[in-house]
Structure 1
């Protein structure tokens, strides 16, 4: 068995898995006795993303095999509808060590931080927010904004603005060094 473990249930439809760093493979098992392994040399890419939730930021590592199949390992474990348990204490060291082992076993593996697809979605959200603000300011010429409109704009600016800005600034896909995983990519900042 590996020295590092991470136990997590990704979603309501998943079982809790124990992820293991074995000498030559990423291994896992669940409470039904099912298990699997993915040799480090067979891993084509690790993609690290994070996203906002009601519990703060959730971090995710998508592990892709050369064959195209893959798995996702998250920092927070599903407990019940809308409730997740923070497991960053085991996630961050686990992913840091996994990245190093994959790099050693497969020098051609890709190590990606962020997601261009999610970045595009956030760009569209940002543009929609700008359009909504434009309508808000245009309403001053037509008798002024309503109370609901004003509340909506304040919420967009105070809550949505920083989230949108962060995602646009840092969310686009880029490479990272697997032997020095930036702490902000795994919630270890």
Structure 2
């Protein structure tokens, strides 16, 4: 038996308890308050560095251990594919050596790199299109350009060569949702 894997499994059992919507324990509420600033349950899916995880945990050893174990298990399972590369808290998508998390964009259901990509023209949507699709305020143009510039070339290339856009339904749903809201 691999002791490290066993310990990670025990720590990850706390993730399952945390993600259980019926769980209203005080410990969960305490950690939820900390994690909401960074995307809450999104942290258990991200390609995040241990350095950032420790900063988020802010010297809370238990939380740091659970987040690190979850990250290790997620990374070892290879759950991230190029078409589902998460934008936020991603150690590969940085600006000035810091990962990005735009809470307001995340709350508008922007989660994956390919949601910003127009597969018809094989390039990222213009800022105006992003504003229209996701209801992003027009004063967020610097955030948009910072984010696009932060995506490394290897991720851009992988998405550009991907022939099956996984978010086409998201694109259509956003358009339909936008039209319903305007009526």
Normalized against structure 1, the TM-score is what?
A: 0.26
The structure carrying a bigger strand percent of its residues is 1
| Structure with max Cα Rg | 1
The structure carrying a bigger helix percent of its residues is 2
Normalized against structure 2, the TM-score is what?
A: 0.27
